[in-house]
Amino acid sequence: MGFDVDLFVIGGGSGGVRASRMAAATGAKVALAEDSRMGGTCVIRGCVPKKLMVFASTFRELPGEARAYGWDIPDGHFDWTNFRTKLHAELDRLEGVYRRLLDGSGVKVYDQRARLADAHTVELTDGTRITAKHILVATGGRPERPDLPNAHLGLVSDDIFLLDSLPKSILIVGGGFIACEMACILAGLGVKVTQFYRGAQILRGFDDEARGLVAEAMRDQGIDLHLGTNIVEMAEAAAMSGHAQDLATEAGITPDLLPVTGEKGCPVWVKATNGTESVYDAVLFATGRTPNTLGLGLEELGVTLGRRGQITVDAYSQTAVPSIYAIGDVTDRVNLTPVAIREGMAFSRTVFEGQPTPVDHDLIPSAVFTQPELGTVGLTEEAARDQEPIEVYATSFRPMRTAFAGSNHRVLMKLIVSQATRKVLGCHIVAPEAGEMIQMAAIAVKMGATKEDFDRTVAVHPTMAEELVTMRSPTRRS
């Protein structure tokens, strides 16, 4: 039978846009539906605005550092309204770039929600039905709130970029990379930050030594980090008793001015598992993300969904229904924008270029944009030790730039090495600009470089990264 299009993509994020453009470049007729802004989570409410906020937050310490170097620079004041205006102008610009790229590639865009009517048919919000030989689901994920009474009063990560003003104080709930990045960003912008995490240490899944140093640095930054702690109760502060009003006063919130809104973003009274009670201008839940599969009609067609609602796919991103594929966060494999892009490229090569290309999820580098940053690739010390005998090469020191200014900030450079093959199994960096460094180190690790390959590389001096090629003796073996 004939189809209206060769490929219909549901989702206009980085993965869906890349897949649609690559497929269109082969001569395929491609359409794409997006019910929100083009660019998806990364461009509109994730990586890009977050990184711009990271940049903004780092200027807080620069005047003091500059004075230590002889500059006569006064402390400044952060203007959120001015920054937010420029931020949204940049997001508008980037969305326009995405739309022009799709238009230039010949991809037909529908600014509507789409669902699957059958294995080869997509139905849009206005009732239009479009048939497609192949359908690609790239709907990403969304932040989730905990199952807690009054959780609707809290913000999620999407809301941060839309705030009319910054809160004076905030409680961040969670210990993953989004929670920790937001804690550092907001603290850097002058917000009094408290963070609750129910686990024993933040950044679960990252190297223990590295995440311990990040936690220490966050506390040094003034973040009131509570581990093994969660919310027991929360309520709108204005609706609480006199005790909560007293807590509001202690927090610098005038009780008479507490707004009664019943909506997210209002001052909130919180009782914690450690027995403390406090009032915060805002509460931010950064407790996980959920794949966007609700209402797509997937299960009715035989597409298998996992426990969290993620789409189950094979190595070629194909679902249990042969004509339907899925990429990106909606599959809950490795939830990173560059991975979604790679998955989109592999899909196009497999389906439209006749080159069956499995997705490579091995040795993916990543960065956590805390202050300092955490960059990582490969195995953690703990995972490597469980796999085989290893050597660990690690050094922690005060970097030249901030040490000269009198700061006690420390950085970490760490290599995990196989005793048998001498290959570098993992590299972990906690330092300013660690994301930039780990990108380069990841090339060597992906190529299978040995510790001796690192040793043969001449150091660039004086730099922090030179320590990666100058560590000669292991700090421990296991």
The CATH number covering residue 321 comes to 3.50.50.60
In a domain, 377, yes or no: yes
User: How many whole angstroms separate alpha carbon 49 and alpha carbon 57?
Assistant: 12
In a domain, 445, yes or no: yes
Q: Are 392 and 475 in contact (CB under 8 A)?
A: yes
CB within 8 A of 114, min separation 6: which ones?
A: 8, 10, 33, 35, 122, 123, 124, 125
In a domain, 361, yes or no: no
pLDDT of residue 468: 98
In a domain, 358, yes or no: no
Please spell the DSSP secondary structure of 189-225, one letter per residue. TT-EEEEEESSSSSSTTS-HHHHHHHHHHHHHTT-EE
In a domain, 360, yes or no: no
The CATH number covering residue 434 comes to 3.30.390.30
Q: Are residues 179 and 209 in the same domain?
A: yes
Q: Are residues 278 and 200 in the same domain?
A: yes
β 129-137/5-10 pair status: parallel
The token duo for 410 is 């420390």
Q: Of 267, 285, 303, which residue constitutes the final position of a domain?
A: 285
Q: Are residues 55 and 12 in the same domain?
A: yes
Q: Are residues 325 and 222 in the same domain?
A: no
Q: Of 352, 379, 403, which residue constitutes the final position of a domain?
A: 352
Q: Are residues 467 and 447 in the same domain?
A: yes
**3-class secondary-structure state, position 264:** coil
pLDDT of residue 310: 98
pLDDT beneath 50: ranges in the chain: 256-260
Q: Are residues 57 and 183 in the same domain?
A: no
Q: Are residues 280 and 373 in the same domain?
A: no
pLDDT of residue 178: 98
CB within 8 A of 414, min separation 6: which ones?
A: 207, 209, 210, 381, 392, 393, 394, 395, 426, 427, 428, 429
pLDDT of residue 98: 97
pLDDT of residue 209: 98
Q: Are residues 346 and 370 in the same domain?
A: no
Q: Are residues 126 and 10 in the same domain?
A: yes
pLDDT of residue 443: 98
pLDDT of residue 365: 98
pLDDT of residue 260: 47
Distances (CA, A) of 266 to 48, 150, 192, 280, 283: 26, 12, 16, 9, 9
pLDDT of residue 238: 82
Q: Are residues 379 and 432 in the same domain?
A: yes
In a domain, 26, yes or no: yes
In a domain, 359, yes or no: no
In a domain, 357, yes or no: no
88 is catalytic: no
User: How many whole angstroms separate alpha carbon 98 and alpha carbon 147?
Assistant: 36
Q: Are residues 10 and 132 in the same domain?
A: yes
Q: Which of 152, 243, 409, 461 is catalytic?
A: 461
Q: Of 246, 266, 285, which residue constitutes the final position of a domain?
A: 285
Query: For residue 234, what are the domain limits?
Result: 151-285
If one counts the domains in the chain, the total is 3
Q: Are residues 20 and 120 in the same domain?
A: yes
pTM for the model stands at 0.94
Q: Are 65 and 195 in contact (CB under 8 A)?
A: no
